[in-house]
Amino acid sequence: MTLKEKLKELKESCENAGFKYAYGKFKQATEPPHLVSIIYDTDNFFADNKTYYGKVPIKLDYTYIDKDLDEQEKIENEILGDIAWNKTEETYLEDEQVWQVSYFFEI
């Protein structure tokens, strides 16, 4: 599966779970709750000037105003259900007056 196909699958999973989703950023101001993903680094195996195996690390930011445990369960069980992931602590972004949790995983 290509990277484009993997990112499309992630987008579909997020939208099917009922979230507004964007890769990188939304084109217009979008009220939380929403999800935004980015590729934050790569960890490839290569030799002889060729990449043999590429992992694509994704950071998925969940931004919200009011805590909703059901939404976080949807992310963790429906979107990331069969993927190994880690997440950050909840962080309050004072300038935007929203909360954010980041999920880290590979596709």
Write the pLDDT tens digit of every residue in 14-27.
Answer: 999 999 999 999 99
CATH number at residue 91: 3.30.2000.30
Mean pLDDT over residues 37-46, rounded?
Answer: 80
Query: In terms of residue numbers, what domain contains 24?
Result: 3-106
Torsion 46-40-22-61 (CA) sign: positive
Mean pLDDT over residues 58-84, rounded?
Answer: 95
DSSP conformational letter for 95: T
Contact 6, 58 (CB under 8 A): no
Q: Tell me the percentage of the chain whose pLDDT exceeds 90.
A: 78
Question: For the chain, how many structural domains are there in total?
Answer: 1
pLDDT at 54 over 70: no
Look at 88 and 53; give whichever has higher pLDDT: 88
Contact 80, 37 (CB under 8 A): no
72 class by beta-carbon count within 10 Å (0-12 exposed, 13-18 middle, 19+ buried): middle
pLDDT at 53: 66
Beta-carbon contacts of residue 28 (< 8 Å; ≥ 6 apart): none
